[in-house]
Amino acid sequence: IAGITQAPTSQILAAGRRMTLRCTQDMRHNAMYWYRQDLGLGLRLIHYSNTAGTTGKGEVPDGYSVSRANTDDFPLTLASAVPSQTSVYFCASSDSLRGKNTGELFFGEGSRLTVL
Amino acid sequence: AQSVSQHNHHVILSEAASLELGCNYSYGGTVNLFWYVQYPGQHLQLLLKYFSGDPLVKGIKGFEAEFIKSKFSFNLRKPSVQWSDTAEYFCAVNARWGIQGAQKLVFGQGTRLTINP
């Protein structure tokens, strides 16, 4: 089934540890995104990528890094996790090239991260 | 900067009641508007969207939304809710739809809807 796969589904992490959340899409969408979801704050954009090889900062990028080596994969790395990064992380993608620009995002199932 | 405000944080209704969830945005240019739904334990799914044309948009599962440009609003409605509509609802605005590249949706805080049987 086409879509977005995120891993892990859930993770408990000690503060100070490094963590990478994985995201893979098979829809050949050019753009990919990472959002965090926090109660009362909705979804906030962390980083995004327009195409493979390019990335950009979103609303809350501090403490996170991303890479986009190819079209399908967009990992999110926490270099040194802190408790305030406890959240649910959603990866998303969109197709905004070749006249297919609908502005619609497709989301993964989410990764619940707890930093102690 | 664009912002989206959802007026209700938690709405509790009984089955068959009518629903209206408020959404206001701040952006003076052309926008695309979305409502996403997140059922318990699941990812966000598109409920409906507005790009242009008829300001009354119909989505899945009997939901509809009306775009009122003069009020910068995009309220979600359903005439008769069901227990299965229990979920969190997010309004989102995209002010970059006409531009190639990443679509930076700005989301509201979300409204948790609880339907009692």
Which pLDDT band, with edges at 50, 70 and 90, does A1 fall under?
low
> In the prediction, which pLDDT does A33 show?
94
Least CB-CB distance to A103: which of B32, B42, B109? B32
> In the prediction, which pLDDT does A99 show?
55
Query: In terms of Cα–Cα distance, which of B82, B72, B98 is closest to B37?
Result: B82
- Amino acid letter at A108? G
> In the prediction, which pLDDT does B99 show?
54
> In the prediction, which pLDDT does A95 show?
84
Radius of gyration of chain B (CA): 14
Kindly report, residue by residue over B14-48, the tens digit of the pLDDT.
999 999 999 999 987 778 899 999 999 888 999 99
Q: Is B73 left (phi over 0), alpha (psi -120 to 50) or beta?
A: beta
Tokens of B69: 């440009």
Tell the burial category of A10 from Cβ atoms under 10 Å away from its Cβ (0-12, 13-18, 19+): exposed
> In the prediction, which pLDDT does A87 show?
97
Q: Which of B36, B37, B45, B105 to mutate to test the interface with A (most CBs of A within 10 A)?
A: B105
How many residues belong to chain B? 117
More confident residue, B30 or B3: B3
Beta strands in B51-100 (DSSP E): 56-58, 64-68, 73-78, 87-94
Query: In terms of Cα–Cα distance, which of B58, B56, B116, B54 is closest to B82?
Result: B116
Kindly report, residue by residue over A10-60, the tens digit of the pLDDT.
999 999 999 999 999 999 999 999 999 998 888 999 999 989 999 999 889
Q: Which of residues 30-49 of B touch A (CB under 8 A)?
A: 32, 34, 36, 42-46, 49
Shortest Cα distance, chain B CAs vs residue A90, angstroms? 8
| Beta carbons within 8 Å of A99's beta carbon, 6+ residues apart | none
Shortest Cα distance, chain B CAs vs residue A15, angstroms? 25
> In the prediction, which pLDDT does A93 show?
93
Kindly report, residue by residue over A80-109, the tens digit of the pLDDT.
999 999 999 999 998 876 555 666 889 999
> In the prediction, which pLDDT does B116 show?
93
> In the prediction, which pLDDT does B3 show?
87
Kindly report, residue by residue over B46-102, the tens digit of the pLDDT.
999 998 889 999 999 999 999 999 999 999 999 999 999 999 999 999 866 555 566
